[in-house]
Structure 1
């Protein structure tokens, strides 16, 4: 019974240490977020350009 409690405590401590490490934002995460934002902005611009082309052909 004592071994089970120790295993459970060890797992809880390891899990909390792992989760606390996820909170930290490193340079790779910031770079990934910048890439995501850039791609989203580019997609929005492409959609706007397509809408303008469609409007121009309708006239």
Structure 2
């Protein structure tokens, strides 16, 4: 985008040499307007990229947290299953009567 702005500035500078004062001022104002537009467009693009990267980072954080929660739930379920199996085996050894 800087190349575009420099091209317009170069054209404006070359045309200024052959123009009247009023035309030179108008050409300079036009060149400044183009440079401002290019700068604003570039800044908007940077802001869009920053926002997209922030959103992607938040999504990754959320996914990592969900994965951790799922792993914890899986561990708890496995522990509960092991306890249930141990209790069933203990009950079976006592003919189904706990504490015997």
Asked if Structure 1 and Structure 2 have the same fold, meaning a TM-score greater than 0.5 normalized by the shorter chain, the answer is: yes
CA distance in 2, matches of 1:33, 1:41: 12
Out of 42, 45, 50, which is 1:40 matched to? 45
Cα drift, residue 45 of structure 1: 0.2
Flag structure 1 segments of 5+ consecutive residues without an equivalent: 1-22
CA distance in 1, matches of 2:33, 2:53: 30
Out of 52, 55, 59, which is 2:60 matched to? 55
CA distance in 1, matches of 2:31, 2:43: 19
CA RMSD of aligned residues (A): 1.3
TM-score, normalising length from structure 1? 0.59
Larger radius of gyration between Structure 1 and Structure 2 = 2
CA distance in 2, matches of 1:52, 1:26: 39
**SS of residue paired to 2:61:** helix
CA distance in 1, matches of 2:52, 2:42: 15
Flag structure 2 segments of 5+ consecutive residues without an equivalent: 1-10, 13-29, 65-100
Figure out how many residues of one structure are paired with residues of the other and give that number.
Answer: 37
Moved over 2 A (4+): none
Higher relative contact order (CA 8 A, sep 6+): 2
